[in-house]
Structure 1
Amino acid sequence: MTDRSHITLYSGGHKGAESEFGQLAEQWGIQEVNFSFDGHTSIQRTRGMKVLDPEELDKGNVSMEIVSARMGRKFAHANKIRKVIQSIFHMVNNGYHVLAVGWIQPDDTVKGGTGWGVELAKLFNRPVHVYDQERNGWFTWKDNAWTAEVPELDRDTFVGTGTRNLTAEGKQAIHDFFTRAFGPA
């Protein structure tokens, strides 16, 4: 088996896509870091858990008005989602390539909290790829537009994020990504 221990997945460890990325990282022998915070109860992956203290969380703080404007939507429970938004910053700040599974919307944002990770990747000029579960294909953000393209890694860090409502096709897309990027498990 090829040594993949120098490769790191950054995620949040939630049910669905993030949990799937984590399970496969473990299966492939890839390091895994899952960002969380005190009081966060919906995490499924505890391998490599990094609990962010208030000072660390604050590094990812951004005005919810900015998040709302960038995402083109309002957040009814802004205080509840703030820590999640802050932890997503740490995922994208640490990983280079950003891979997400969800739904690309007509305004080119991605549905849900996953969309903030995608928007940060765009802002940070990181390679960002989304598996759109409606169109059943990978899309890469290039020249301010989504282009059908299968993701390839050229660095040893990546972010795996996405919807909690992972379809069988989304799960297969993540598995196929690991096989293409890292060879057989």
Structure 2
Amino acid sequence: MNRSDATLFSGGHKGAEAEFGKLAEKFGINEVNFTFEGHDIERKVGLKILSPDELKKGDVSMDIVSARMGRNFSKVDTIRKVIQSIFHMVNSGYQVFVVGWILPDNTVKGGTGWGVELARLFNRPVFVYEQDRKAWFSWIDNTWVEVTPIISHKTFAGTGTRNLSEDAKNALEALFERSFSES
């Protein structure tokens, strides 16, 4: 795949999303960061500020989000907008790459987990770098399987925790190296 044909869809938020963006820039990958008015983000390259109507396209009942994730989420306006913007990331990128923690119920911790749930619902290839286990996992045949992923599609989403470990940064760098280094 030609680097100039690839596009990262992310959110520009501190942590994993900002790191995905820095690597996209380093490797010459196009970048789109979805956000909304009043949201404080770290990375502003390729910024796409979603209008209220665009945000509504990603709207889902917080009861559904809570039921799917097996935990309660606040119903405050900002959390809803974050959930709506995650829809745009996952809907735009075919492969979905996430940094976080896989929980015993097979969901992923925090709002990041909604991106994973959407990827599974949309039947997208999804990969989670599990920070405690220091390994990549993919959802295959209804279970998490350890893998060594590559970015192989021209559109991909990158999201994850704000609390990025050094190991996770190194894993993201290695992912981009495997995927985009000249042979």
TM-score interval, smaller chain: over 0.9
Contact 1:64 1:78 in 2 (8 A): no
Correspondence 1:155-170 to 2 at 5 A:
155-170=153-168
How large is the Cα RMSD of the aligned pairs? 1.2
How many residue pairs align between the two structures? 182
Output the CA distance in 2 between the equivalents of 1:160 and 1:154. Answer: 14
The one-letter code sitting in structure 2 at the alignment partner of 1:86 is: Q
TM-score, with length taken from structure 1: 0.95
Give runs of ≥4 in structure 1 deviating > 4 Å: none
Output the CA distance in 2 between the equivalents of 1:124 and 1:8. Answer: 19
1:121 is matched with which residue? 119
Question: Structure 2: any 5+ residue segments left out of the alignment?
Answer: none
Contact 1:12 1:35 in 2 (8 A): yes
Output the CA distance in 2 between the equivalents of 1:118 and 1:154. Answer: 18
Percent of aligned pairs with the same amino acid: 63
Do residues 74 (structure 1) and 51 (structure 2) align?
no
Output the CA distance in 2 between the equivalents of 1:182 and 1:54. Answer: 36
Once the two structures are superposed, residues 90-148 of structure 1 have per-residue CA deviations (whole angstroms, 9 ceiling, x without a partner) of 00000000000000000000001110000000000000000000000000000110000
Question: Structure 1: any 5+ residue segments left out of the alignment?
Answer: none
Counterpart secondary structure, 2:4: coil
Counterpart secondary structure, 1:5: helix
Contact 1:3 1:29 in 2 (8 A): no
Output the CA distance in 1 between the equivalents of 2:59 and 2:11. Answer: 17
Do residues 105 (structure 1) and 67 (structure 2) align?
no
Correspondence 1:128-167 to 2 at 5 A:
128-167=126-165
In the TM superposition, what is the alpha-carbon distance from 1:77 to its structure 2 partner? Answer: 4.2
The one-letter code sitting in structure 2 at the alignment partner of 1:119 is: E
TM-score, with length taken from structure 2: 0.97
